[in-house]
Structure 1
Amino acid sequence: MIKINKLGLTSKILIGMGAGVIIGLLLRNIFPGSEWVQDYITEGFLHVVGTIFIASLKMLVVPLVFISLVCGTCSLSDPSKLGRLGGKTIAFYLFTTAIALTLAIAAAILIHPGNASLASSQMEYVVKEAPSLAEVIINIVPTNPMQALSEGNMLQIIIFAVIFGFAISHIGERGVRVAALFNDLNDVIMRVVTLIMQLAPYGVFALMAKLSLTLGLETFGSVLKYFFLVVLVLLLQALIVYPSLLKLFSGLNPLMFLRKMRDVQLFAFSTASSNATLPVTIETSEHRMGVDNKIASFTLPLGATLNMDGTAIMQGVATVFIAQVFGIELSLLDYATVVVTATLASIGTAGVPGVGLIMLAMVLNQVGLPVEGIALIIGVDRLLDMLRTAVNVTGDTVATLIIAKSEGEFNQAIFDDSQAGKAAKSFEEQVMHPKKTN
Structure 2
Amino acid sequence: MKFPSLNVQIFIAAIGGVFFGWLAHTGEHGVALYAANLVGTLFIDLLKMVMIPLVFCAIVTGIANLRQHRQIDVVWKTTLLFFATTTIIAVVIGLTASHLFKPGAGLHLEMFSHAMQQFESRQMSLPEFFTQFLHGIFMNPFKALAEGNILAIVAYAMCLGIALVMASERYPQWLALFEEGMGLSMQMIGWIMRLAPWGIAALLFKLVATQDVSLFASLTKFMLVVTGTTLFHGVIVLPVLLFLFTGKHPVWFLRQAREALVTAFATSSSNATMPVTMRCATQNMHVKPEIAGFVVPLGATMNMDGTALYEAAAALFVAQLAGIDLSLGQQLVVCLTTMIAAMGAPGIPSAGMVTMVMVLQSVGLPAEAIAILLPIDRLLDTVRTAVNVEGDMIGSLVVQHRIEKLAQ
TM-score by length of 2: 0.93
Pick aligned residue for 1:237 from 219, 223, 233:
233
User: In the TM superposition, what are the counterparts of 1:353-368 in structure 2 within 5 Å?
Assistant: 353-368=349-364
Pick aligned residue for 1:264 from 260, 279, 290:
260
Aligned pair in 2 of structure 1 residues 344, 195: CA closer, same or farther (>3 Å)? Answer: same
Once residues 184 and 79 of structure 2 are traced to their aligned partners in structure 1, the CA distance between those partners, rounded to angstroms, is 27
- Look up the equivalent residue of 2:186 and give its one-letter code: M
Matching residue of 1:427: none
Matching residue of 1:126: 120
Matched, 1:14 2:11: yes
Q: Following TM superposition, by how much is the alpha carbon of 1:313 offset from its aligned partner in structure 2, in angstroms?
A: 1.1
Once residues 264 and 405 of structure 2 are traced to their aligned partners in structure 1, the CA distance between those partners, rounded to angstroms, is 26
Q: Deviations over 1:374-415 (max 9, x none)?
A: 22222111111011000000111111110111012999xxxx
- Contact 2:345/2:354 (CA < 8 Å) preserved in 1? no
User: In the TM superposition, what are the counterparts of 1:219-368 in structure 2 within 5 Å?
Assistant: 219-368=215-364
Pick aligned residue for 2:403 from 402, 407, 412:
407
- Look up the equivalent residue of 2:120 and give its one-letter code: V
Matching residue of 1:84: 74
- Look up the equivalent residue of 1:284 and give its one-letter code: C
Once residues 208 and 137 of structure 2 are traced to their aligned partners in structure 1, the CA distance between those partners, rounded to angstroms, is 41
Matching residue of 1:41: 32
Matching residue of 1:211: 207
Once residues 129 and 17 of structure 1 are traced to their aligned partners in structure 2, the CA distance between those partners, rounded to angstroms, is 39
In structure 2, stretches of 5+ residues that fail to align are none
Q: Following TM superposition, by how much is the alpha carbon of 1:163 offset from its aligned partner in structure 2, in angstroms?
A: 1.4
Relative to structure 2, which stretch is displaced further, 11-20 or 112-121? 112-121
Aligned pair in 2 of structure 1 residues 355, 81: CA closer, same or farther (>3 Å)? Answer: same
Aligned pair in 2 of structure 1 residues 260, 392: CA closer, same or farther (>3 Å)? Answer: same
Q: Following TM superposition, by how much is the alpha carbon of 1:204 offset from its aligned partner in structure 2, in angstroms?
A: 1.1
Once residues 55 and 219 of structure 1 are traced to their aligned partners in structure 2, the CA distance between those partners, rounded to angstroms, is 31
Once residues 209 and 19 of structure 1 are traced to their aligned partners in structure 2, the CA distance between those partners, rounded to angstroms, is 8
Q: Deviations over 1:272-309 (max 9, x none)?
A: 00000000111110111111011100010000000111
Matching residue of 2:167: 171
Pick aligned residue for 2:50 from 60, 66, 70:
60
- Look up the equivalent residue of 2:25 and give its one-letter code: R
Relative to structure 2, which stretch is displaced further, 44-53 or 280-289? 44-53
- Look up the equivalent residue of 1:350 and give its one-letter code: P
Matching residue of 2:393: 397
Q: Following TM superposition, by how much is the alpha carbon of 1:78 offset from its aligned partner in structure 2, in angstroms?
A: 5.0
Matched, 1:23 2:14: no
Q: Deviations over 1:51-71 (max 9, x none)?
A: 111111111111110011111
- Look up the equivalent residue of 2:244 and give its one-letter code: L
> Percent of counterpart pairs with the same letter?
37
Q: Following TM superposition, by how much is the alpha carbon of 1:80 offset from its aligned partner in structure 2, in angstroms?
A: 6.1
Q: Following TM superposition, by how much is the alpha carbon of 1:140 offset from its aligned partner in structure 2, in angstroms?
A: 5.4
Runs of 4+ that moved beyond 6 A: none
Aligned pair in 2 of structure 1 residues 147, 409: CA closer, same or farther (>3 Å)? Answer: farther
Relative to structure 2, which stretch is displaced further, 129-138 or 104-113? 129-138
In structure 1, stretches of 5+ residues that fail to align are 32-36, 412-438
Once residues 317 and 189 of structure 1 are traced to their aligned partners in structure 2, the CA distance between those partners, rounded to angstroms, is 38
Matching residue of 1:386: 382
Q: Following TM superposition, by how much is the alpha carbon of 1:136 offset from its aligned partner in structure 2, in angstroms?
A: 4.6
- Contact 1:76/1:166 (CA < 8 Å) preserved in 2? no
Q: Following TM superposition, by how much is the alpha carbon of 1:218 offset from its aligned partner in structure 2, in angstroms?
A: 2.6
- Look up the equivalent residue of 1:99 and give its one-letter code: I
Once residues 314 and 111 of structure 1 are traced to their aligned partners in structure 2, the CA distance between those partners, rounded to angstroms, is 15
Q: Following TM superposition, by how much is the alpha carbon of 1:312 offset from its aligned partner in structure 2, in angstroms?
A: 0.8
Q: Following TM superposition, by how much is the alpha carbon of 1:137 offset from its aligned partner in structure 2, in angstroms?
A: 5.0
Pick aligned residue for 1:154 from 144, 150, 153:
150
Q: Following TM superposition, by how much is the alpha carbon of 1:255 offset from its aligned partner in structure 2, in angstroms?
A: 1.9
Q: Following TM superposition, by how much is the alpha carbon of 1:338 offset from its aligned partner in structure 2, in angstroms?
A: 0.7
- Look up the equivalent residue of 1:197 and give its one-letter code: M
Matching residue of 1:432: none
- Contact 2:54/2:181 (CA < 8 Å) preserved in 1? no
Matched, 1:73 2:70: no
- Contact 1:72/1:293 (CA < 8 Å) preserved in 2? yes
Q: Following TM superposition, by how much is the alpha carbon of 1:48 offset from its aligned partner in structure 2, in angstroms?
A: 1.1
- Contact 1:114/1:321 (CA < 8 Å) preserved in 2? yes
Once residues 25 and 242 of structure 1 are traced to their aligned partners in structure 2, the CA distance between those partners, rounded to angstroms, is 31
Once residues 64 and 91 of structure 2 are traced to their aligned partners in structure 1, the CA distance between those partners, rounded to angstroms, is 35
